[in-house]
Chain A
């Protein structure tokens, strides 16, 4: 146990770019919605978003809105970032409820890093980053 709380990188330190495959994910995030890319033909989920379904090679896309719940698949507790030596981040791979095996690489916030465990239940929250975008991150599920 410690007083340290896991956080995100400062908003102005995070820049993203998009392409036609990934843009909808970020547009939904701006509206506070967590989505995953599902194949429009066979229903297979894939993240990050890419042009083809690796199962059936279809380019049909269905952006499925998720419950926003997830669980920790694995994680690292990161001490320091270039230019920000004192920051503590929990970089995590999160399994997304309702999206089969698709996972998101994200941060777990509002938690003592020593309490994070594989399997821990999470819920999404959105954190502002550069250029008006919102980053989906996760905190321990409330009840």
Chain B
């Protein structure tokens, strides 16, 4: 078995409190991101002045309708010089892959200490209506008139096809929402800490049938930052380094042109588009899904968790519903605990970064819902427009 990449490691994570939509004012995105970066430096035991690289995703967008800017961070935090600053294209699908962008910089010798950060406020533009709000253009003129006004609406169409092809039931989506909520109950920073019953789930307001309120992630605010450095340098820092074992971003045309275009063949239509990423992670690491101890799967909408379980091989294609309904993804008693931090469905939605933070804590052995003796954690980005991405971290040593 290969030992994976292991040439870089995550050495610091930091976050602000998480807020409901509108709750983080009067702080700005710059302030929120800066607080997360400083907290990550504190965690790593380094000065912010040692940062020399930024590896963003979402085109360095701060949520919807705001931007992050490296020069702003340098000026306000006192970072003297950067030698690398770059961003993965498209949206939240690149969250996990941004650590690969940091790795690329470090391995190439372009930077030594790279920050990945996401900050999100939703007062300018809510996630929920992002497509309805964008100005008409020649391509979205083939989508906007239909009233599919947000990402959840689009994915509800994918979910319907999965239900049609494989007999997947809303009970499976309910189990994802309920088990994720269960994991948030004991987390001080979680936005939703009240248990969710099956009855409440099925009484939830239908937004885009087959999906209801509880299938949609939270509309929250806050920031999370992660610091990546070389394996060599990581040995001298405050925390035990968490090695990057595998990381990949990208995706196939069959998924990428079709998300919102809807032209993809069934294999991709009723999927998360993550199968090509999974294959590359397994090739890089020599691991399989059976080696993963905890899975932090991008959960903007419940059905897409189910489809990622299939794409990463935790169960067979089309078997995600049955697999989930069996209790397999429960922290207590499941065979593959999923979103032990409460996910974007119940803890907070910071566009994929809470999954990476939780993966790091699980590998340090310090997670609130720690999986005993966990050796490998998977964190994912997307399903969303390409690129989508995945990251495997190994236990800290």
Contact = CB atoms under 8 A, between A and B. Distances in A.
A79 B265 CA distance: 27
Contact of B206 (A21, A79, A87, A104): A79
Contacts of A113: 209
B80 interface: no
B167 to A, nearest CB: 13
B146 A91 contact: yes
A93 B259 CA distance: 12
Given A76-B156, A77-B209, A81-B132, A16 B263 contact: no
Contact of B143 (A9, A19, A89, A105): A105
A101 interface: yes
Interface string B153-191: 100111011001000000000000000000000000000
A2 interface: no
A87 B164 contact: no
Contact of A74 (B137, B147, B157, B260): B157
A111 B209 CA distance: 15
A82 B129 contact: yes
A62 interface: no
B262 interface: yes
Given A19-B138, A79-B209, A105 B160 contact: no
Contacts of B57: none
A135 interface: yes
Contacts of A56: none
Chain B at the A interface: SS class: mixed
A75 B157 contact: yes
B145 A18 contact: no
Contacts of B263: 46-47, 101-103
Given A77-B206, A101-B263, A106-B146, A118 B160 contact: yes
Contact of A17 (B141, B206, B260): B141
B295 to A, nearest CB: 27
- Which of A8, A74, A129 counts the most chain B CB atoms within 10 A? A74
Given A14-B144, A91-B146, A92-B146, A78 B161 contact: no
A105 B132 contact: no
Contacts of B261: 48, 105
Interface of B: 129, 132-133, 136-139, 141-149, 153, 156-158, 160-161, 164, 205-211, 253, 257, 260-263, 265, 269
Given A15-B136, A74-B160, 17 more contacts: A17-B137, A22-B138, A22-B139, A26-B141, A48-B142, A54-B253, A77-B209, A78-B148, A78-B149, A78-B153, A81-B149, A89-B146, A91-B148, A91-B153, A105-B262, A118-B160, A118-B161
